């Protein structure tokens, strides 16, 4: 009987310890996510982190004209013409086949824009994780 109670005490103390650790790691992750928000409301942790590009928030998409209006992190707005050569990537790095009609390429979502070596033509668009956009 004493063995049984001893094992129960050890098991319950382990469960309490694990619960405390998991609770603190969630709050740490939340603090880290909150620290990534810029002044303009763009969360830099939403977008694929290995890509070196310009962070932007999609303001307007016109699928018939194949154009988009984005707001850069600096606050400037930019009109983009999306050609067939532009490659779309998902948040984990996989190629997206839908292009401008992708669900993640919509008003309010974040993305990273990668331009070619000249800096004038758009080469890649890296899309963020699909979540409901925040209202600014």
- The CA distance from 25 to 32, in Å, is 10
Q: What is the pLDDT along the chain (136 residues), one digit of tens a residue?
A: 667 666 766 666 656 665 656 554 444 444 444 444 544 455 544 555 677 888 899 999 999 999 999 999 889 999 999 999 999 988 778 898 888 888 888 888 888 999 999 888 999 999 887 766 566 5
The architecture CATH gives domain 44-127: Beta Barrel (2.40)
How do 122-127 and 110-115 pair as beta strands? antiparallel
Domain ranges of the chain: 1-35, 44-127
Contacting residues for 45 by C-beta, under 8 A, at least 6 apart = 32, 33, 36
């Amino acid at each position: 009987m004493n063995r049984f109670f001893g094992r129960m005490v050890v098991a319950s103390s382990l469960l309490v310890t694990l619960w405390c650790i998991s609770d603190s790691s969630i709050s740490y992750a939340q603090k880290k996510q909150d620290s990534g928000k810029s002044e303009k409301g763009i969360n830099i942790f939403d977008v694929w982190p290995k890509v070196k590009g310009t962070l932007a928030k999609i303001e307007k998409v016109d699928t018939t004209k194949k154009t988009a209006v984005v707001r850069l992190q600096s606050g400037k707005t930019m009109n983009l013409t999306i050609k067939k050569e532009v490659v779309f990537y998902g948040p984990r790095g996989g190629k997206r086949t839908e292009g401008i009609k992708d669900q993640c390429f919509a008003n309010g979502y974040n993305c990273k824009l990668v331009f070619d070596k000249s800096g004038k033509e758009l080469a890649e668009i890296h899309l963020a994780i699909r979540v409901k956009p925040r209202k600014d």
